[in-house]
Structure 1
Amino acid sequence: MSTFNDRFTGKIEELPPVIVDAPDDRDTGQTVPSEATPRTDRIYVGKKPLSAPEQADDPERLNTGKEIITMEVRGGLFTNWTNVMVEQLVTKPFPTFQFECTEEADIPLRWDALQFVPGDIVRVYVGGVPAVFGYIVERHVGFDAKNHGVRLIGCGDTVDLTNSSVPIDKLDGHDGKSWSQLARDLMSHLGIKLKETGAVDSKPFENIQILPGQRIMEALEQYARMRNIVIGSNAHGGLLAIGEHSASPSGELVEGVNILRANAVVRDQNVYRKIYVIGQNNGSNKAYGDSQNKQIATEDGTSSRNRHQVIPADLADDMHGIRRRAMMEKVFTEGSFIEAQVTVQGWFKDNNQSNDVWKAGEYYTVTSPMLIMNGMVLGCAGCKYEQSDGGSTTTLSLVDPIHMNGQLNYREAVEATMRQEREREAAERAKKAGGG
C-alpha cells in the first residue's frame, strides 16, 4: 500500500495522463477507460494538468461508480477521501463542500507538495453527476509524529456575490432594466452566469439605485423581493432565479422503504392571516397623489389566528412591484411552516437503482405515519451528500413548495401518488411471483 506522501507529493504535470478506476472497496464494477495503466490509491490525474474546470450549462457526466465522489481541480480527478460532504442549496446563494483525508505515516509529510490552495477552481461530481462548481476557500492541514491530515473547504462560484461590492463603475446606469438584466450586468465582471427557472418576472424597474459599498447579493436580493424572485444556486455553477412554477413530484420517500431516518418541525410563529405591504412611488406630472403615496397590497395567509403582518416596501415602485412584494412575503412566511430532514441510503433514487440522484430543486412525495405525512408533496431546498466509513447517505431538507416558489397542482400530485402506489404494488406482486 502506498504511503500518504506517495499520494500527494510530486508535481501534477509530471504524472502520466490517466484516469483510473475507483478503489476496490467502493467499486461498483464501472471503470473509466484510459490509455495508461499506472495507479495510485488516492490521486486520479486527468489529461489537462494545468487546466481548470469550466462553467458549463450541461457538463459531461463522469463514467464512475455510484459510490464515488470526485473532485476535479487543475485537470486532475481526485477521489477516495476519508470523509466527504457536498451540499446543494437551491434557495441559498451558494452550495458548499468539504473533503477530508487523514492517514498514518512514518515520516513527516511535505505539505508544500500538496498543491490544492484556496482559489483553485473545482467541480465536484457525486456518483459521476455534476453537483457543485466553485472554489476552494479554505485549506486546513495538521500533523503530529504519526498522523497527517488535510481538510479542503469550498463554496460555489456565487459565493463572490455575497462578499464583494458592486464595482464603482456599475453603480449607475441601470434605470429601465429588469431584474435579470440587472443581475447579469452586476455579475459579468465575475464571470458568473444566470439561469432562470419558472416564470421569472421581467417587468423593468423605472429607477434603480445602488449604494456605494453595497454587496452584489444584497442589491440583487433587494430588487428580487419586489418581483417575487427566489434567488438560489445551480449545481452547474452560476446564480439561479426561481419564478413561480408547478411543483410536480419526481420521486417518493416512504417510511420503512427508503427512509433511513427523519425528523420534522411544524411551526406557526411566522404564519399570518393577512399580509400587507405598504409603499409609495416617485411622483411625476402624470402620476401623483394618493395613487403614488398610499400604495397597499395584501395577501391571505393560512394562520388559524387573526395575525397580521405589515411590511414597508423595500424601495419605491409601482403597484405591480408592491403586489409582487406581498407575494414574496407570503413565500417567506408560509414557506417556514414545515421543515423536514430525511436521510436515505446512497445518493441515487430507487435505492440506488436509478441513474438520477436526489437533487435540490425537485419535489418529492413523502409518506411517513411517524411524521404525520401521508403522500404530502414537499420541495427539496437542500441536498447533503455525505460519505465516510459508515457509508454513503443523502440528507434532504424538505420544505413547503411555496418556499421554492412552487405552486402545487393538487390534481397532478394525486395522480403522481396513485401512479407511484400502483408501481409499488406491481413490483411487490412481481417479487412474490418470482419468489414463488
Structure 2
Amino acid sequence: MPKIEETCEVTINGKVFRDWDSVTATASINPFVRMVTLTVTEKVGANGAVGQSLQIKTGDAATVKLAGQLFASGHVHERQVAYDANNHSVRVTFASQVLKAVEQSIPLKDGEFKGYSFQAIANKVLGPLGIALKALNPPSGWDKAFKYVNIEPGETIFNLLSRLSKYRGIRLHDDKDGNIIARGSVDKKPTAEFVEGRNILSASCLAQNPRDTAQEVVGQQRGNDNSTPAQNRGAYSGKADANGSNYSTDKQIQADIPADSDDLKQAAGYYNLLSLGQQVIVRIVYQGWLLSSGKLPEVADYTSIDSPMLLLKTSNLQIAEVTFTQDQAGTRTTLIAQSWITSPGSFETSKPEQTAAQKATSTPLTPSAPVVTGPGGLAGPV
C-alpha cells in the first residue's frame, strides 16, 4: 500500500476507492471550480468481471482526499470508458459542488433585487443548490445593500455573484467543502518557502515592465422627476491607481449597476487587480503534495520564493493556481504564483466634472444662429 502522503482517496456512497494509475487535481482563482481527474486500468477477470471503476457513476456525490487531507467535495462529473479483450480503462473527473452555480441560470421569476446585501443575494440564488457563501476577512462595508440589481437574461449564478463582487472589494473561489468563499484581505505571512537548490524541482518566471495604471469606473443613477437623463449619466466615479516605473495607462469603464462612489472605488480596485495581476507570474514544481508544514497549499496564500536564477527573491506573491499530479514520473505539485491576487492598491473617489450635455441641462443658454453653407460655398448665418 502506498504511503498516505502519496495517496488519493475518493469516497462515493460510503465506499473508498484508491490505487489510481494517474491523478490530476487542480484548484484555481480562474477557472473557479476544483477538478480532479483520475485514470485506472483494470484486468478483466473471470466472466468479464472488473473492479472498482464499475461502481463509479456520473452524478454520484463524492469527496476527494489528497495525502489524507480533504481537497474537494462535489460529484462525479464525467466518466469515460474503453476496453479490449484484456483490459478495462476508465477516466473519471470529479468536480466541486460549485460547478452547479457556474452552469445553472438563476431560477428566479422577478429578475430584480432591491435593497439586498451581497450575502443576501448569494443566499437567495445558492440556497436551492445547497451551496453556502462564506466570507473570509471581507473589507469594511462589504455587506452594504445594493439599491437595485437586475439579472441579465440567462445569467448564471456565478456570473451574477462575480460581477457584483467587484463592487464589494472581494474575490470569489471555492473551498474543499464545496462552498463559495468571498475573500477580502489575506494574511501576508507566507505559508510556503521555496529556495533554489533545496526544494524546487523546476521553475520559470514571466515579468512584465510595471506601469502607472489608473482605472476609473464611471456609474449612473436611476432617474427621478427632478433629474434628466444627461444628469444621471456619469453621476459618480471611482478611481484606483498603482505606481509603476516609466509609462502609464488610463482606462475608463462603465458600471453595470446603479452605484455610488464607494461602490465604484471597489470596482476600480478590482479592475486594477486584473490589470496588474500578471506583471509577475512564477511557476514552481516541487516533489510530493504536502508543504514542509504538512499542509496542502491553498489558493490565495502567500509564498516565499528565493531563486537567483530567476532574479527573484520575494514574499509578496500569492498562489493563483495549484495542480497536484501523480503518474509514472512520480508525485508532484505545480504552483502558479502571482502578485495582486487579492490586495488592491490605493483608491480615490470623486464626483467627475459635468459633461457639456449635463451642463446644458442645468445652465440657461442663449442659442446662436446656426451656420450653414451658403451659395458659392460661402459660410454665413441663416
Q: Could you say which TM-score interval applies, normalised by the shorter chain? A: 0.7 to 0.9
- Residue 100 of structure 2 corresponds to residue 160 of structure 1: yes
SS of 2:116's partner is coil
Bigger mean CA offset, 97-106 vs 123-132: 97-106
Q: 1:109 to 1:175 in 2, by over 3 A?
A: farther
Of 200, 203, 207 in structure 2, the residue corresponding to residue 259 of structure 1 is 200
**Match 1:334 to one of 276, 280, 297:** 276
- Match in the other structure for 1:98: 37
1:404 — aligned with what?
Answer: 342
CA contact (8 A) 1:100 1:151 kept: yes
Tell me how far apart the structure 1 counterparts of residues 154 and 188 of structure 2 sit (CA, whole Å).
38
1:275 aligned residue (188, 199, 215):
215
What is the match of residue 330 of structure 2?
391
Return the offset for 1:342.
0.6
**CA-CA distance at 1:259 after TM superposition:** 0.7
Structure 1 position 365 matched with structure 2 position 304: yes
Contact 1:349-1:358 at 8 Å conserved across structures? yes
Change (3 A) 1:372 1:341: same
Return the TM-score normalized by structure 1.
0.73
Contact 1:166 1:212 in 2 (8 A): no
The one-letter code sitting in structure 2 at the alignment partner of 1:97 is V
Question: 1:107 Cα shift?
Answer: 6.6
SS of the counterpart of 2:128? helix
| Deviation digits for residues 89-130 of structure 1 (CA, Å, limit 9, x no counterpart) | 245421110010024446784579812111111111011110
Report the Cα offset of residue 166 of structure 1: 0.3
Indicate if the aligned counterparts of 2:325 and 2:333 stay in contact, CA closer than 8 A: yes
Q: Is the partner of 1:161 in helix, strand or coil?
A: helix
Question: Which of 113, 117, 129 is residue 57 of structure 2 equivalent to?
Answer: 117
- Secondary structure in structure 2 of the residue aligned to 1:403: coil
Superposed CA deviations along residues 68-98 of structure 1, whole A, max 9, x for unmatched, are 1101111011111010111122454211100
- Aligned residue pairs, count: 341
Q: Is the 8 A contact 1:91 1:230 kept in 2?
A: no
| 1:45-56 correspondence runs (5 A) | none
Give the whole-Å Cα distance in 1 for the aligned partners of 2:110 and 2:55: 36
What is the distance in 1 between the residues matched to 2:190 and 2:239?
30
Query: Structure 1 pair 107/305, CA: closer, same or farther in 2 (3 Å)?
Result: farther
Q: Unpaired runs of 5+ in structure 2?
A: 346-382
Which structure would you say has the larger RCO, counting Cα contacts within 8 Å and 6 or more residues apart? 2
Matching residue of 1:86: 25
**What is the identity, as a one-letter code, of the residue corresponding to 2:253?**
I
Higher-Rg member (1/2): 2
Matching residue's letter, 1:224: S
Shift of 1:155: 1.2
Which runs of structure 2 are paired with 1:117-136 in the superposition (5 Å)? 117-136=57-76
Moved more, 374-383 or 362-371: 374-383
Rounded Cα–Cα distance in structure 2 between residues aligned with 1:134 and 1:118:
11
After superposition, the C-alpha distances for 1:7-29 in whole angstroms (9 at most, x for unaligned) are xxxxxxxxxxxxxxxx1xx23xx
The answer to whether the 8 Å contact 1:273/1:301 transfers is yes
Q: 2:143 aligns with which of 164, 189, 202?
A: 202
Q: Which amino acid aligns with 2:7?
A: I
Q: Which moved more, 1:337-346 or 1:284-293?
A: 284-293
CA distance in 1, matches of 2:48, 2:321: 37
- The answer as to whether partners of 1:73 and 1:122 remain within 8 angstroms in 2 is yes
For 1:191 and 1:142, the matched residues in 2 are separated by 34
Amino acid at match of 2:269: M
Partner Cα separation in structure 1 for residue 47 and residue 90 of structure 2: 13
Q: Which amino acid aligns with 2:286?
A: V
Q: Which amino acid aligns with 2:248?
A: N
Paired with 1:197 and 1:92, the residues of 2 have a C-alpha distance of 20
Conserved 8 A contact 1:381-1:404: no
Alignment of 1:309-388 (within 5 A): 309-350=251-292, 354-388=293-327
Q: How far off is 1:179 after superposition? A: 1.1
Q: Does the alignment pair 1:74 with 2:74?
A: no
Normalized per residue, the structure richer in strand is 2
What code does the residue aligned with 2:8 have?
A: I
Amino acid corresponding to residue 231 of structure 1 in structure 2: L
Question: Which of 175, 187, 208 is residue 126 of structure 2 equivalent to?
Answer: 187
| Structure 2 counterpart SS, 1:87 | strand
8 Å Cα contact 1:92/1:233 also seen in 2: no
Cα deviation for residue 296 of structure 1 reads 2.3
SS in 2 for 1:208: strand
Check the 8 A contact 1:198/1:245 in 2, yes or no: yes
How much does 1:214 deviate?
1.4
Is 1:212 aligned to 2:153, yes or no?
yes
Deviations 1:311-352, CA, capped at 9 Å, x for gaps = 1112221111111111111111111211111111011122xx
Change (3 A) 1:226 1:286: farther
Query: CA, structure 1 residues 268+216, in 2 after alignment: closer, same or farther (shift >3 Å)?
Result: farther
Distance 2:49 2:42 in 1: 14
TM-score (norm 2): 0.82
